[in-house]
């Protein structure tokens, strides 16, 4: 595999280990993070730290974006800030921007159009798997974009997980919304089921074990069910991020004229949880919020 010059923007809970895998694959990586100290450990693995997103993107083959939201990415890709040029003004013509954050479908499509006018390519490739998947390079990566462009970045993305091309630009975000809808609803289902058996006098850990391998089994029952029983809610994926994605799913459903009542109920539960100070906890802490609400 040809080693490439990559810019990596955003080294938070997910981005830090993802970037580490690229370095260990032998790629040359320039890194930028708003809080520089969060990226400094990558310098020991060979990354070059940049003072701006534009500097990290300059003349690269590929820029990977793992930032918090659509508006933040808009600012970094296209606007000037503090005198620094935007990523779109510094990435070489023919280069590819890969947005691995979860953002609205329409936002990703607008990004693609604006970059296309500059002879730059675009892939929306959000991920699922949380911090554990990022650390283990086992993320599910859902890529939207031109087939040839996605194929071109596959060797890079495959260093971080399992890549599936799901359609044209925007379809990666659609797949992620489907994922987050299932995740959010299932977290609520597992939390309510455990609360039910506990209130009824059963051993919740034993019930969870009994359900493994049956029709109710899932990654969420296995991983988050264990978190709920043990009361370990340090964030692998924050409840505030889960809420953001559920809100995006609801807005999309509205635009499509869909009535999705369980999605809306789950969104309202996470909204209450976050409003009461639980936004920085793991999304599985919905269990604790529901328990304390009874």
DSSP-derived 3-state class of residue 140: strand
Cβ(9)–Cβ(47) below 8 Å:
no
Identify the CA nearest to 160 among candidates 6, 10, 22, 13: 22
74, burial (CB in 10 Å: exposed 0-12, middle 13-18, buried 19+): middle
> Choosing from 3, 117, 132, 176, which is the catalytic residue?
176
DSSP-derived 3-state class of residue 216: coil
Identify the CA nearest to 2 among candidates 27, 21, 20: 27
Query: Is 176 labeled as catalytic in the residue annotation?
Result: yes
Identify the CA nearest to 5 among candidates 90, 78, 104, 114: 90
CA angle 92, 7, 112 (to 5 degrees): 60
**Structure tokens given for 57:** 């993107």
31, burial (CB in 10 Å: exposed 0-12, middle 13-18, buried 19+): buried
Give all strands (DSSP E) within 33-185, no chain letters.
48-49, 62-65, 96-99, 121-124, 127-128, 139-144, 161-167
Question: For residue 63, which phi and psi values (nearest 5 degrees)?
Answer: -120, 125
Q: Which residues are known to be catalytic?
A: 176
């Amino acid at each position: 595999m040809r080693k490439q010059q990559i810019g990596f923007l955003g080294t938070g809970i997910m981005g830090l280990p993802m970037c580490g895998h690229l370095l260990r694959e032998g790629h040359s990586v320039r890194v930028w993070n708003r809080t520089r100290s969060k990226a400094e450990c990558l310098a020991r693995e060979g990354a070059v730290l940049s003072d701006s997103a534009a500097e990290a993107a300059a003349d690269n083959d590929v820029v990977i974006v793992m930032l918090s939201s659509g508006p933040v990415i808009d600012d970094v890709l296209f606007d000037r800030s503090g005198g620094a040029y935007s990523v779109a003004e510094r990435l070489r013509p023919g280069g590819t921007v890969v947005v691995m954050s979860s953002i609205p479908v329409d936002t990703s499509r607008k990004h693609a159009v604006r970059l296309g006018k500059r002879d730059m390519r675009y892939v929306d490739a959000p991920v699922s798997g949380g911090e554990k998947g990022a650390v283990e390079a086992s993320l599910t990566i859902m890529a939207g974009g031109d087939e040839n462009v996605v194929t071109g970045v596959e060797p890079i993305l495959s260093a971080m997980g399992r890549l599936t091309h799901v359609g044209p630009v925007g379809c990666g975000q659609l797949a992620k919304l489907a994922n987050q809808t299932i995740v959010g609803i299932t977290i609520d289902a597992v939390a309510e089921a455990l609360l039910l058996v506990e209130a009824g006098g059963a051993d919740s850990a034993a019930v969870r074990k009994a359900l493994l391998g049956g029709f109710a089994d899932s990654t969420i029952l296995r991983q988050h069910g264990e978190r709920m029983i043990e009361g370990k809610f340090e964030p692998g994926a924050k409840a505030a991020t889960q809420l953001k994605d559920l809100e995006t799913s609801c807005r999309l459903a509205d635009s499509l004229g869909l009535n999705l009542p369980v999605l809306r109920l789950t969104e309202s539960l996470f909204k209450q949880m976050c409003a009461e100070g639980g936004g920085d906890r793991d999304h599985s802490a919905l269990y604790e919020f529901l328990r304390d609400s009874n």
